Amino acid sequence: MHRAMFPTLVVISLSVGLQGSSTADDWIPLVTKQDASGELAGWKSFHETAGTKTGDVWKLADDGALVCRGNPKGYLYTEKGYTDFVLRLEWRWPEGKPGNGGVLIRMTGGHKIWPASLEAQINAGGAGDFWGLDGYPLSGLPERTKRLEHPQFGKLTNVQRTADLEKPAGQWNSYEIRAKGSTVTLIINGQEVNRAADCAVRPGKICLTSEGNEIHYRNVELQAGEKSE
């Protein structure tokens, strides 16, 4: 979410699955192909500018990286909804061009900037924060949690990260979100940086945001627990 007053949120990958040890077969790649019209298999997109197509903002490069040009603002969202899962991916900013971005989970309701969801923030200098957007409930340590009303974004809850582990622009970061019931954990580059409790337990879309800045993703994959179409 692009907001000067708000940080962004992040996580990375463990070798243990939701129900025990994981294997290579447990992981489902989420970004696999893009057709001639620019649509990405398994994803749809929302843009604040009417008439914008997925391929106008999101491009799957020959090396497998998914490149978001950042404008107009909006997000990719999965066709399926997920409740319990482990999501892992790598992300980076272009060298010398840090910016704003994030991953939204358990997104429900109408499409807008920004929808009801839990954001794992990736804003440069703030990667690792949680934001409950548009009234999405969560809680954290009292000294790291704040709640506010924003004239555009509605009720917001912020749980601040415990460490700054993001790498400089131009370098890849590993990132993992583990959603299990009412608890969501975030890990960046191998270390847990945030944990939220009392999260709303509901199936929702997973979203990658476009927030005005170019950002690259790769190796986006999911280990699913409960899910719904």
The first and second tokens of residue 223, run together, are 């280990």
Among the listed residues 211, 32, 227, the one whose alpha carbon sits nearest the alpha carbon of residue 104:
211
The whole-number pLDDT of residue 118 equals: 98
Angle at 22 between CA 19 and CA 25, to 5 degrees: 120
Query: What is the C-alpha separation between 40 and 94, in angstroms, rounded?
Result: 22
Query: What is the C-alpha separation between 3 and 183, in angstroms, rounded?
Result: 26
Query: Cα–Cα distances in Å, from 182 out to 16, 122, 223?
Result: 19, 22, 17
The predicted model scores a pTM of 0.88
**225 pLDDT band (50/70/90 cuts)?**
confident
Query: What is the C-alpha separation between 77 and 206, in angstroms, rounded?
Result: 6
Neighbours of 156 (CB within 10 A): 22
**Tens of pLDDT along 65-98?**
999 999 999 999 999 999 999 999 999 999 999 9
Among the listed residues 174, 9, 16, the one whose alpha carbon sits nearest the alpha carbon of residue 86:
16
16-224 falls under which CATH superfamily? Exo-inulinase; domain 1 (2.60.120.560)
Residue type present at position 222: L
Provide the residue count of the chain. Answer: 229
